[in-house]
């Protein structure tokens, strides 16, 4: 995704099969493209901020060699703000990341998930720590807020493009529901101050998504900075006459 670090250089040491995709600011388009480019019978998806422990690797290889399963769901350990978050909706956080090619259809829309083939034989590894993908999700609050800002902009634009209209009632209900589900239903209170903070910030995520959806409708889908420049020109013209 047009990375500016040493990713391409490092990858070049292991393979000449390197493909570039447009940088969209979220992973789904690149993931969909990458899966389409694979040629093996099995696919293992590992994002740039994730790793597969050796113990998990040793469990996956026999599953691919046997003909008993098509899609393997693995729990994921999310490290957020310096700690493994064991509640608040981030554990066991099952991910279908190991699968027989053709059994999962991925969307290029943000947070859209994936479509599993109805005939796929699924296996959920037990939610033990040794079975988990390790995910360095958000290393501090600033990192979380930066991603939150980017993701809500993309999600709001997709909602606008799908014709979803803004509603004040849904803004209130979705944010309250998000906080309740994470802090109470998913026992975020067990994660202490991190659990409370994350539940609150995820509620804010819903608020910002709906406010940005409203902004999209106000600007008729025109990028905000472009609309602002147009408005500024109109005002300057008005006061210069």
User: What's the rounded Cα separation, in Å, for the pair 47 and 34?
Assistant: 11
Q: Is the dihedral of CA 212, 217, 220, 221 positive or negative?
A: positive
**Which residues touch 42 (CB under 8 Å, ≥6 apart)?**
64, 98, 99, 100, 101
Model pTM score: 0.84
Please report the pLDDT score of residue 205 as a whole number.
97
**Residues contacting 48, CB < 8 A, separation 6+:** 7
* pLDDT score for 153: 93
Tally Cβ neighbours within 10 Å of residue 216. Answer: 22
pLDDT by 10s per residue, the chain, length 241? 888 899 899 999 999 999 988 888 888 888 999 999 999 999 999 988 999 999 999 999 999 998 899 999 999 999 999 999 999 999 999 999 999 999 999 888 877 778 999 999 999 999 999 999 999 999 999 999 999 999 999 999 989 999 999 999 999 999 999 999 999 999 999 999 999 999 999 999 999 999 999 999 988 867 666 667 777 888 888 787 6
What three-state secondary structure class fits 6?
Answer: coil
Residue 69: CB atoms within 10 A of its CB come to 16
Burial 73-110 (b: 16+ CB within 10 A, else e): bbbbbbbbbeeebebbbbbbbebbbbbbeebbebeebb
The pLDDT value given to residue 57: 93
């Amino acid at each position: 995704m047009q990375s500016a670090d040493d990713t391409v250089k490092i990858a070049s040491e292991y393979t000449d099969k390197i493909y570039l995709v447009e940088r969209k600011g979220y992973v789904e388009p690149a993931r969909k493209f990458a899966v389409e480019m694979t040629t093996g019978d099995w696919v293992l998806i590992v994002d740039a901020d994730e790793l597969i422990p050796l113990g998990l690797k040793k469990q996956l290889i026999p599953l691919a060699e046997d003909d008993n399963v098509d899609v393997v769901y693995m729990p994921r350990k999310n490290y957020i703000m310096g700690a493994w978050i064991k509640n608040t909706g981030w554990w066991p956080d099952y991910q279908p990341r190991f699968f027989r090619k053709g059994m999962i259809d991925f969307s290029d829309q943000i947070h859209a998930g994936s479509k599993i083939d109805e005939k796929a034989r699924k296996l959920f590894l037990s939610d033990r720590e040794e079975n988990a993908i390790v995910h360095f999700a958000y290393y501090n609050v600033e990192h979380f807020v930066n991603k939150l800002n980017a993701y809500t902009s993309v999600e709001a634009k997709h909602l606008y493009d799908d014709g979803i209209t803004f509603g004040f009632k849904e803004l209130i209900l979705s944010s309250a529901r998000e906080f309740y589900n994470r802090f109470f239903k998913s026992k975020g209170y067990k994660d202490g101050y991190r659990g409370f903070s994350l539940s609150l910030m995820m509620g804010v995520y819903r608020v910002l998504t709906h406010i940005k959806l409203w902004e999209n409708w106000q600007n008729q889908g025109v990028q905000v900075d472009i609309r602002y420049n147009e408005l500024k020109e109109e005002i300057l013209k008005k006061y210069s006459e």
